[in-house]
Amino acid sequence: MDSDADIDLCYKSLSTMWLVQLLSVAWWSVTLYDYLFQLTNEIDLVWTDPVSMTSGIYFILRYLGMVMQLIYVIVGLQRLPNLTQQILLLTDEGVGSRCLSVIDSDVRALKVVNESLLELIVGTIFLIQPLVDATIAWVGSIYLAALQIILLLRVYALYKASKRLLLVLGACFILEMACVIFALQWGIYSDRANNYGLLVGAVPWASFELLLLVLILRASYKHRQATWGTMRIGLNPLLKIVVRDSSIYFLGFICSSALLIICALYVEESYLGVASGAALANLLGPRLVLTLRK
């Protein structure tokens, strides 16, 4: 591969990464605006009451989610100077004989194969990157667990606090989270790309989300059957909120999963899928708590 082709590939990767980071920053700005917009409701509905499990889960959904989303933005931005420096090296030195295009899942950029440069710059990135990816995976798992606990408790309340249903859903939840954590860690420490673990982990995640949605719709259908022909036609307000929020959340989950899969097919865009999914979760998750508190 000649130096002109190397430079063209670098410029294409750099422009794509800049676009991805601009969109990630835009997502973060939307999340921050939503936080400021909902701050009064948050104080009145959550923090004026005594500390409880619900307030703890809300703290995770709102603040840990925002931190996680900010990490995605920072991790993406720190990759840009590396690629910019490599373009300058290619342009200034006209490297043709010592150049090799190596696009990997950690650096997401074209690296100039020079022994001293590789040891000094890339070696440091490879030392830190697994720790960053592992931290993101664990924080994301905690966030996902908090989000699904809220959904699980909603289903539990709809079925009149059925202990048997709680036992079954609790077992499914533990099994699902174990599969998600294993898939994420496998994706990080295996030779495959990190987004491969995200794709594999999305299968049990989606299955559990679908199970909860089916149970909610089933409860809605049974309620309509029980009230058919009486003066109480329609859903009661609490059930209506649960069905509405769960349907919107599941639709958002489908959209974010589709974006994640599409972006995972391309190296530079992979972080956009994760950041967009985190943003949608940060916008929808806290509302699952606030709407019920209202």
CA 117/CA 110 separation, integer angstroms: 13
Nearest to 20 by CA among 68, 70, 80: 80
Nearest to 220 by CA among 248, 252, 244: 244
Task: Report whether pLDDT(117) > 50.
Answer: no
Give the mean pLDDT of the chain.
70
- Kindly report the CATH number that applies to the domain delimited by 3-293: 1.20.1070
pLDDT value of residue 271? 62
The per-residue pLDDT for range 218-276, each reduced to its tens digit, is 887 777 776 665 545 555 676 777 777 777 777 777 777 666 666 655 555 556 666 77
Average pLDDT (129-148) is 75
Residue type, 206: A
Residue type, 69: Q
Triad 48, 170, 225: Cα angle to 5°: 85
Q: How confident is the model at residue 170 (pLDDT cuts 50, 70, 90)?
A: very high
